[in-house]
Every structure is written in structure tokens, then in C-alpha cells.
């Protein structure tokens, strides 16, 4: 149908609606109430006979407007190629490396489509609330829709084949144009954004190749991630939500954040950095969870410092006075998220709202966390991010200096076995400090630092042992009456 034909169609629709409203008024005013229902039923049949077109509406949000519709997103992606050819009014969005533009339909624009001989009209609409007020911020009551209109003789083709087709095509376009994002949760008092999350492009270059850790452990993690990514049927079979928890623990500077970025890049997942201190209560925590997409990593860094969630079950047994004091402290923090609320967030009923998610906690002090928080089933795999070993050092040397072997490697291996040094410290000393600095100079600096740390460690041990010995001697002397 040509654009003129489409205009004639809407003219017919308008005339039909006017006629319908007139007849409807006559029925309400002239016929008794007991006959009106029968008349209206036959009137609907007459309208359906005269108007042979069917319209399907796809709203932007579903489930009491708590989350974005996957069908709406798929249609939006599918229509990108159609709108760039046929639509007259377009919206442009920047994706990927900020050099390419994605064109989508503007509001109240229509596009003609065709599938297996069936002509289809797509319309992008937006409902504006009746009460208008001037504001620089977007109205939270606005609702966007896509409407699909087709002739009823094509009903079987559209419902049985075309809708599945656009879902598959839309998902394929999304994968092609996908840019990983790093999200942070909004605070209601600080942000005007309608969404519970704000995001920036995730451009962290970390990968499992660049991680300074034991190769066997890296391969074990990679194998587990692959198994998880392909495990939809398995999780359905065992009756569990499609999610998995990881606990990354170890001293600062051992690569916990780099591990998260490497996992996100490997899995091609978005990262949701959840700041618990900005969450008002358990109810808001659930709303955040609902708004998290599939294929994502939920991260709570330094979980032992986020809220007072450490050893809560033991603290509940203390005196009432301490409980009151603790409540006052939580009130000052501005967050009433409880351990129970967090546990429900991880593996309660609400955790099944969405699939293919990794939940990662990081901490410098694993021993401080409540056992209920990190047990298997919640944090399924515990990964110790330890001090730099020789295998990790070789990875860093290759990353920073492109060197596979050097004469000082034996010395460095011996020193790394005797002292504790983080991968961050090793990487800093391997980094060239000025243009043209030689590889030998970088290795010499690292050896000097390691030897200095070894000497300091020995002196501390001697000092501690000396104090202990003197203490024993002094106690013995006192008992013998020599002092």
C-alpha cells in the first residue's frame, strides 16, 4: 500500500470511529440497560466486519512498568534497517566507538514493512499524560509503544512466523551493535533520571591473558564461565535460577577489579556496580534487581565495608543496648538494607527475575563476612587473589616489557618465594618511567625493590624475636631476684 493508500486507510478509520461514537450515544440514550449489552456485542461484530485490519501493541515496559520489554527492544533493533530507508523523521544514537550512528523511528512516525507477501505498518507512538507541567526533566508518566497493523487475512503468518522472525532479527542486531556498559545505581535524592541505573561505556582492556595469576587457576575459571554461559538447559533441569556467585578475596592490589573486567570482556556481559550505601532499604534493592538485564555481572566491591553485614547473626545475641546503638549508626548511614534483604537479593525468589547473571563480591577480609552470606549456593566459587608468584610475574613481564626470559629471572623467582608482594607493586616497577628506558633498568629496579622488602622483612622478624627473647630473660631475672 502506498503512503496515499495509508492516508486513505486512516481517513476510513476516522469516519468509522465518528459513526461508531454517534451510534454508541444513541444506544446509551434510547435503549434500556438490559438491551444495551446485546446491541453493543453485535455492534462490535459489525465494526470488525467493516474494518479488516488488526493492530498489536507492544508497550515499552511490562510487569507494572517495572522493567523494559524484551519485545519492545527487539522491535526497536529490527526497525533500524527499515527506518533508515523509509522513515522521514529519525532519531540518531551513538553506539560502540562513538563513530557510528544508529537511526531509529521518531515518535509518531510510521514505516511500511513486508513479510512473505503480507504488508505491515509499524507505528511509533507515545502517550503523554493529561496534566502537563513545564520541566527540563523527562516526564516519568510518558509511555512509548510500537503498533503493528496488518490485514486479518495475514493473521496466521504474522502470529505464527513474523513475530518470531522480528524477535530473532532484533536480538541479532543487538549482538552486532552491542557495547558493554558499566552501570551504577542512582540515588533518589541525587539523580533525576527515571531509570534506577546510570551507565557509561565499559572500555576496560583487562583479559585473562593479561591477568597475573597461576595459569591453571585461570584456565579453571575460564572453563567454569564457558560451562555457565552454555548452561541454560542445565539450570532448568536442576530447578535453579540461571546465576552463579563468585567471591574474590585477598589483599589490596592483587587484581580483583581486573578479574571482574576480564570476566565481563570474556563473557561479553554488562557490569552493574551496586553501591549498597546508596540503597535506601530492602524494597529499593529489589527494584534495582528487577531493572538489571540478563547477560550481566552484579558487583558489590568491598562487601565487608559496604554495610554492617559482618557477623550479624552473632551480633544479634549481644545486649539490647548495643543493638540500639547499632540501629542509630545505620540510621546515620542513610541505608536500611539488612543481611536478610541482601540474601534474598542474591538467591531469593526475586533473584529469578532474569537469567544469565554472575554475582561477584570482593573483600580484603574474608574472615569478617557472615558465613550465611558466602556459603556455597550464594557465593558458589571462592577465588583467592593472592600475592604475586613467579608465574604471575612472567605474565606481567610479557605484558609490560614483551620479555619471555631474562638473566635475572632466577633471582626474581627466589625473592618472590621469600617475600610477599602484590602484582600491582610488581607491575609498577616493571613500567618504564621515561622514554627510552631499557629493559635491564626495569628489571634491576624490580630486583632492588624486592631485595629491600626482603631486608625489611628480616629486620622486622629479628626485632620481633628480640623483643620476645628479652621479655623472657627479663621475666626470668625478675623471678630470680636479680632485678
pLDDT digits (tens, 9 = 90+) for 105-147: 777 788 888 898 899 999 888 876 555 544 444 454 567 889 9
What domain range includes position 226?
A: 181-384
Per-residue model confidence (pLDDT) at position 256:
95
- Please report the DSSP string for 382-445 in residue order: EEE--S--HHHHHHHHHHHH--S--TTHHHHHHHHHHS---HHHHHHHHS--STT--HHHHHHH
DSSP assignment, residue 291?
T
Asked whether residue 96 is domain-assigned, the answer is no
The residue assigned the cell 551504577 is 184
From the list 307, 304, 311, 301, the residue with the least C-alpha distance to 282 is: 307
Domains contained in the chain, number: 3
Asked whether residue 91 is domain-assigned, the answer is no
Asked whether residue 172 is domain-assigned, the answer is no
Question: Which set of grid coordinates corresponds to residue 116?
Answer: 512473505
357 and 432 housed in the same domain: no
Asked whether residue 454 is domain-assigned, the answer is yes
Boundary of a domain, candidates 30, 51, 72: 51
From the list 419, 420, 285, the residue with the least C-alpha distance to 345 is: 285
Per-residue model confidence (pLDDT) at position 19:
72
CATH of the domain at 377: 3.40.50.300
Instruction: State how beta strands 53-59 and 143-151 pair.
Output: antiparallel
Q: Inter-axis angle of helices 215-229 and 256-267, to 10 degrees?
A: 40
308 and 367 housed in the same domain: yes
355 and 435 housed in the same domain: no
Residue pair 120/114 in contact by the 8 Å Cβ criterion: yes
Per-residue model confidence (pLDDT) at position 35:
64
371 and 437 housed in the same domain: no
433 and 355 housed in the same domain: no
325 and 461 housed in the same domain: no
Per-residue model confidence (pLDDT) at position 384:
94
From the list 240, 248, 241, the residue with the least C-alpha distance to 289 is: 241
Asked whether residue 99 is domain-assigned, the answer is no
Per-residue model confidence (pLDDT) at position 399:
94
What is the phi/psi pair of residue 66, to 5°?
Answer: -90, -25
C-alpha separations of 186 from 136, 195, 205, 291 in Å? 19, 8, 26, 12
441 and 363 housed in the same domain: no
Per-residue model confidence (pLDDT) at position 13:
62
Q: How many Cβ atoms are within 10 Å of 447's Cβ, its own excluded?
A: 15
Boundary of a domain, candidates 51, 74, 89: 51
Distance separating alpha carbons of residues 347 and 245, to the nearest angstrom: 9
Asked whether residue 137 is domain-assigned, the answer is no
333 and 460 housed in the same domain: no
Distance separating alpha carbons of residues 343 and 375, to the nearest angstrom: 11
Boundary of a domain, candidates 384, 419, 446: 384
Per-residue model confidence (pLDDT) at position 138:
46
Which residues, 6 or more positions from 70, have their beta carbon under 8 angstroms from its beta carbon? none
315 and 224 housed in the same domain: yes
Per-residue model confidence (pLDDT) at position 135:
45
Distance separating alpha carbons of residues 66 and 138, to the nearest angstrom: 17
Asked whether residue 128 is domain-assigned, the answer is no
253 and 357 housed in the same domain: yes
Asked whether residue 151 is domain-assigned, the answer is no
Per-residue model confidence (pLDDT) at position 468:
47
Q: What pTM does this model have?
A: 0.70
Q: Taking the chain (483 residues) in consecutive chunks of 10 residues, what is each chunk's mean pLDDT? A: 52 67 68 64 68 87 69 85 65 55 73 88 78 48 83 90 90 77 76 71 93 93 96 92 94 95 95 91 88 91 75 50 55 70 83 86 91 88 94 95 93 94 95 93 95 90 65 45 45
Per-residue model confidence (pLDDT) at position 357:
94
294 and 369 housed in the same domain: yes
308 and 215 housed in the same domain: yes
Amino acid at each position: 500500500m502506498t503512503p496515499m493508500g495509508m492516508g486513505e486507510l486512516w481517513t476510513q478509520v476516522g469516519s468509522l470511529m465518528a459513526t461508531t461514537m454517534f451510534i454508541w450515544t444513541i444506544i446509551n440514550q434510547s435503549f434500556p440497560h438490559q438491551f444495551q449489552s446485546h446491541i453493543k456485542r453485535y455492534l462490535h461484530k459489525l465494526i470488525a466486519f467493516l474494518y479488516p485490519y488488526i493492530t498489536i501493541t507492544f508497550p515499552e515496559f511490562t510487569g507494572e512498568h517495572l522493567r523494559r520489554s524484551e519485545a519492545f527492544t527487539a522491535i526497536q533493533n529490527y526497525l533500524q534497517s527499515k527506518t533508515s530507508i523509509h522513515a522521514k523523521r529519525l532519531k540518531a544514537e551513538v553506539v560502540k566507538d562513538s563513530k557510528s550512528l544508529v537511526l531509529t523511528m521518531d515518535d509518531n512516525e510510521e514505516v511500511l514493512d513486508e513479510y512473505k507477501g503480507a504488508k505491515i505498518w509499524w507505528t511509533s507512538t507515545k502517550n503523554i499524560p493529561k496534566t502537563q507541567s513545564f520541566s527540563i526533566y523527562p516526564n516519568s508518566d510518558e509511555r512509548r509503544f510500537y503498533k503493528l497493523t496488518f490485514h486479518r487475512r495475514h493473521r496466521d503468518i504474522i502470529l505464527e512466523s513474523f513475530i518470531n522472525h522480528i524477535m530473532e532479527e532484533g536480538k541479532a542486531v543487538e549482538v552486532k551493535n552491542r557495547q558493554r556498559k558499566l552501570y551504577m545505581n542512582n540515588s533518589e535524592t541525587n539523580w533525576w533520571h527515571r531509570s534506577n541505573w546510570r551507565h557509561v561505556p565499559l572500555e576496560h582492556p583487562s583479559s585473562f591473558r593479561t591477568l597475573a595469576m597461576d595459569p591453571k587457576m585461570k584456565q579453571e575459571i575460564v572453563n567454569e564461565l564457558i560451562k555457565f554461559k552454555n548452561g541454560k538447559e542445565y539450570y532448568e533441569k536442576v530447578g535453579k535460577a540461571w546465576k552463579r556467585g563468585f567471591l574474590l578475596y585477598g589483599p589490596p592490589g592483587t587484581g580483583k577489579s581486573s578479574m571482574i573486567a576480564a570476566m565481563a570482556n570474556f563473557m561479553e556481559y554488562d557490569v552493574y556496580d551496586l553501591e549498597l550505601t546508596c540503597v535506601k532499604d530492602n524494597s529499593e534493592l529489589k527494584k534495582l534487581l528487577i531493572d538489571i538485564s540478563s547477560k550481566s555481572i552484579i558487583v558489590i566491591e568491598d562487601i565487608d565495608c559496604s554495610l554492617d553485614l559482618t557477623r550479624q547473626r552473632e551480633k544479634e545475641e549481644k545486649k539490647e543496648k548495643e543493638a540500639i546503638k547499632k540501629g542509630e549508626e545505620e540510621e546515620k548511614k542513610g541505608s536500611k538494607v539488612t543481611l536478610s534483604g541482601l540474601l534474598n537479593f542474591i538467591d531469593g525468589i526475586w533473584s529469578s527475575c532474569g537469567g544469565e547473571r554472575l554475582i561477584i563480591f570482593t573483600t580484603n577480609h574474608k574472615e569478617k563476612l557472615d558465613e550465611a552470606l558466602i556459603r556455597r549456593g550464594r557465593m558458589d566459587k571462592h577465588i583467592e587473589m593472592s600475592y604475586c608468584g613467579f608465574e604471575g610475574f612472567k605474565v606481567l613481564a610479557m605484558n609490560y616489557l614483551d620479555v619471555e626470559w631474562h638473566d635475572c629471572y632466577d633471582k626474581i623467582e627466589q625473592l618472590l618465594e621469600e617475600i610477599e608482594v602484590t602484582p600491582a607493586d610488581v607491575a609498577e616497577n616493571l613500567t618504564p618511567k621515561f622514554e627510552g628506558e631499557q629493559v635491564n633498568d626495569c628489571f634491576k629496579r624490580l630486583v632492588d625493590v624486592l631485595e629491600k622488602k626482603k631486608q625489611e622483612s628480616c629486620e622486622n622478624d629479628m626485632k620481633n624475636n628480640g623483643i620476645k627473647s628479652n621479655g623472657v630473660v627479663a621475666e626470668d631475672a625478675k623471678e630470680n631476684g636479680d632485678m
